[in-house]
Structure 1
């Protein structure tokens, strides 16, 4: 599947850097607000803007799916772009759930597909523990990437480690910190970790069971965990 990534900015440079790990073939990185990166003149010709698409400087024949990978400042502008893309027969992927209802309506109007993106790939384990239960041991290495703040390139490091382990021939299971994780073959962090209905103790027990399930079902050589 050939895709255009939108909205692309310097904050999303990890996508370009680890393009080979992405599930689909990225043809263009479409920048938000018609602003190209400063470095674009030194890079390959794979940056574009919405204006380039409207003006025919890039061809609709080059791709079949438009992939929305993050939030945008102007929601109405996004829907305008989606409408234009769908009217030209292109399918949509969107990792931001809050846009899905409106985008689904647009896709139906033009008889194109809103393709499934796995927002939640890990099921909440059935509660079979109490506060005296033991933490279940995991018999394979777990490498955690953690940070104390935002914008510290945790996801970049997660993809770097994934790339290195795979290149060395290891089978990797991975839980990532971004909604886009599924498009790199990672499990997104499960939603129950951010749900106030669950106590912190329950979250610890549940996540321990999640990690054990991943190790048993996928049988990796290593688990990479973003947190």
Structure 2
């Protein structure tokens, strides 16, 4: 029987797990979310626009851990715990500790997206070990990085196409696109090497998780990003012999305003220097200005000498709200007409294919664009060699 898991809270990371269930090596049998977001009690699939599943979103952490159906409760063996730092702030207590304790009481292993350092939670690790359970969180330690760097010279340079999924900002669907590309390429019989920068990348079978996104747990200086990633790319290339490697970054690619440090993109630039893409797919927002999109395309070309093959866009539009001195961004669904109109504008303006991340047909087209580009490039190189 395949291992099975429960997940909470029901945020965008858990949405990705539900949308990409076919790419997981386990089954999700329960979801929990705090009351107040309007999701509790709803079918966990329908709540995010997916087909119905056999369980509802539980209203409390304890309910999700105990399982909504006895037969599911007996089967699940792992809790996938998302970002609960905001809950801890609101409730003024360590929700991470509280939830892990409940999971251990239920006899569950824990995969936490937030850091769960042994030096801070030594007692939880002792409890887990006494019960034969495991606590895990994605992290890149300095020691692991040193070991990888020390062996880098053993592997030759990457000799397969590298495609990067980049963006013009945060919360756009870049990871959703990476999963969709992975799925389609594997359906077509391609061996896919992949580096993901989301903490839960490894759950989808990606070859390397480089957790530099929200609440980053990469414990090496920025200067070491590029050499470390170069070494990992070589390892993946040599050990897996993929047909191509996908690499997905975080947030924006070029600063929106160099005078505002919060828009700086140093980690993304370092990531690009490490993975050295041959081509890029750029995810944009419907509210991005044409000038900023062009700046990003030009910036990608300048940074890594790679062309942007296409533009991709979510089916949601960002609405910026300011209240009590704080700015929040809330995505709202776009009508199909508005989405297609924006995509047509992008195609006409930038002379590139513009596709919807939410459309399976468009994802298939994106894969065709990638395959055709490298097939044409290889043919041109063969002609040049013959001449």
TM range (shorter): 0.7 to 0.9
For normalisation by structure 1, the TM-score amounts to: 0.77
Residue 176 of structure 2 corresponds to residue 156 of structure 1:
yes
Residue 46 of structure 2 corresponds to residue 44 of structure 1:
no
What is the match of residue 114 of structure 2? Answer: 96
Question: Does structure 2 conserve the Cα–Cα contact (< 8 Å) formed by 1:82 and 1:103?
Answer: no
What per-residue deviation string (whole Å, max 9, x for no partner) do you get for residues 100-156 of structure 1? 555552353363312445534875423989xxxxxx753211111011321111111
What per-residue deviation string (whole Å, max 9, x for no partner) do you get for residues 28-69 of structure 1? 122244745389344323332325348874433141221213
CA RMSD of aligned residues (A): 3.4
Shift of 1:4: 0.3
**Residues 1-227 of structure 1: pairs in structure 2 closer than 5 A:** 1-10=3-12, 12-33=14-35, 35=37, 37=39, 40-41=42-43, 42=46, 43-46=52-55, 47-49=57-59, 50=61, 52-53=63-64, 57-59=68-70, 60-75=73-88, 76-98=94-116, 105-106=123-124, 108-109=126-127, 111-112=130-131, 113-116=133-136, 119-120=139-140, 124-126=148-150, 137-186=157-206, 187-189=208-210, 195-196=220-221, 198=223, 203-227=225-249
Number of positions where the alignment pairs a residue of Structure 1 with one of Structure 2: 218
Question: Does structure 1 conserve the Cα–Cα contact (< 8 Å) formed by 2:138 and 2:200?
Answer: no
Q: CA separation of 1:119/1:184 partners in 2, compared to 1, >3 Å: closer, same or farther? A: farther
Which has the higher mean CA deviation after the structures are superposed, 29-38 or 81-90?
Answer: 29-38
**Equivalent position SS for 1:145:** strand
Alpha-carbon distance in 1 for matches of 2:67, 2:14: 25
Shift of 1:5: 1.0
Q: CA separation of 1:101/1:222 partners in 2, compared to 1, >3 Å: closer, same or farther? A: same
| Higher relative contact order, chain-length normalized (CA < 8 Å, sep 6+) | 1
Alpha-carbon distance in 1 for matches of 2:8, 2:66: 17
Question: Does structure 2 conserve the Cα–Cα contact (< 8 Å) formed by 1:9 and 1:37?
Answer: no
Q: Structure 2, unaligned stretches of length 5 or more? A: 47-51, 89-93, 250-387
Alpha-carbon distance in 2 for matches of 1:65, 1:109: 15
Alpha-carbon distance in 1 for matches of 2:36, 2:25: 26
What per-residue deviation string (whole Å, max 9, x for no partner) do you get for residues 128-186 of structure 1? 89xxxxxx753211111011321111111111111111111111110001011111111
Q: CA separation of 1:68/1:219 partners in 2, compared to 1, >3 Å: closer, same or farther? A: same
Q: Which has the larger radius of gyration?
A: 2
Q: Structure 1, unaligned stretches of length 5 or more? A: 130-135
Q: CA separation of 1:51/1:109 partners in 2, compared to 1, >3 Å: closer, same or farther? A: closer
Question: Does structure 1 conserve the Cα–Cα contact (< 8 Å) formed by 2:118 and 2:125?
Answer: no
**Equivalent position SS for 1:215:** helix
